[in-house]
Structure 1
Amino acid sequence: MKKPILILAVLFSLLFVSESKAQYNTGIGLRLGSGNGLTVKHFIQSGAAIEGILYTRWQGFIITGLYEVHKDIDGAKGLQWFYGGGAHIGTWNADRRNTPWGDNGNSSTVVGLDGIIGLDYKFDDAPINLSLDWKPAVNISDNGGLWWDEVALSIRFAF
């Protein structure tokens, strides 16, 4: 358990290394991947954003909150890479639960920590933002374990 906390602490210490300029203030849209749902990303300062994700997976619902640091990629206007971390909570109803672990006849709630790394692109002539990311997570309650397969494409309306 100490290793994920150490990794999260290192990520947060890297948050203040340098800044980049955000290409948009807020983006709202769809997140499509191993779980599908809604995403909202808002820049709270230059180079720092918070993201909220509400998605469904294994016929349950998961809410994730993330803090992300964005860095410009030299020579690629509108393209940034980002990293960060946060937490999630999810629940599955006993009648609809379809997870790859545990007893599918029982309701379940899971809480855990998330990391994220990816690419973020804002089209210059259109209010469209695309993000491709990998979001591994570790569950620290009920049916603990790792989710390594959280890869998704987010398509947002940016304003």
Structure 2
Amino acid sequence: MKTFYRIFFALALVLSVGFSANAQSGYQTGIGFRGGVASGLTVKHFIKSDAAIEGILSTSFRHRGTVITVLYEKHAPAFNARGLQWYYGIGGHVGFHEGRHYYDHGHKHYHDNVVALGVDGVLGLEYYIRDIPFTIGADIKPYINIPSGGGFWDSALHVRYVF
């Protein structure tokens, strides 16, 4: 449990760095849920009008662990539709997994406990509903774990309350 609190504190610290920056034309900060292969909480904060930092605290039933991801994302209008934006970005993650649920494809065996470090990318589409201040969106997030190798894809839907 101490590990969870350390991860949560690190995420809060990273996300608080940009809170005095300029707001995006639609909203400045959003907090919500992400549902997909890895589900959890998501916080996005705009540090420039077209750039945001997103933090994701997720868990996966498949690997039975907790992962914290931080992404830097660039945003741009999509399809000339008001409130619709596409975004792409890069970042990293650190995860803690129960080994009996985490298979190492490179060494072809299960570990006792796994600390996974890696590099992430993201490509998504988000719609800001101004009347009820929420965003809904979908993204794909390819990632690779550095110590144990292997590349993976995570896709998800998300809903955020924005302010």
Q: Same fold (TM over 0.5)?
A: yes
Match of 2:95 in 1: 90
The question of whether the paired residues in 2 share the 8 Å contact of 1:22 and 1:43 is answered with no
Deviations along 1:14-69, whole A, 9 cap, x unmatched? xxxxxxx5411100010100011000000011010000000001110100000000
Residue of structure 2 equivalent to 1:41: 44
> In structure 2, how many angstroms separate the alpha carbons of the residues matched to 1:103 and 1:74?
46
**Normalising to structure 1: TM-score of the pair?**
0.80
Deviation at 1:138, TM superposition (A): 1.1
2:144 to 138, 145, 157: 138
In structure 2, distance between residues paired with 1:87 and 1:105: 22
Give the CA deviation at 1:74.
Answer: 4.2
Q: Give the aligned partner of residue 32 of structure 1.
A: 35
- The 5 Å alignment of 1:1-159 reads 21-57=24-60, 58-94=63-99, 97-101=100-104, 103-141=109-147, 143-148=148-153, 150-159=154-163
- Structure 2 counterpart of 1:14: none
Aligned Cα root-mean-square deviation (Å): 1.4
Structure 2: how far apart are the matches of 1:126 and 1:26? 15
Separation in 1, partners of 2:111, 2:88: 37
Identity of aligned residues (%): 46
- Deviation string 1:107-157 (CA, Å, 9 cap, x unpaired) is 11110100000101100211111120000001111x211012x00011110
Per residue, is there more strand in 1 or in 2? 2
| Contact 1:112 1:137 (8 Å CA) reproduced | yes
* Contact 1:112–1:138 (CA under 8 A) maintained in structure 2: yes
Following the alignment from structure 2 to structure 1, what is the Cα–Cα distance between the partners of residues 56 and 143?
14
SS of the residue corresponding to residue 135 of structure 1 reads strand
Deviation at 1:99, TM superposition (A): 2.5
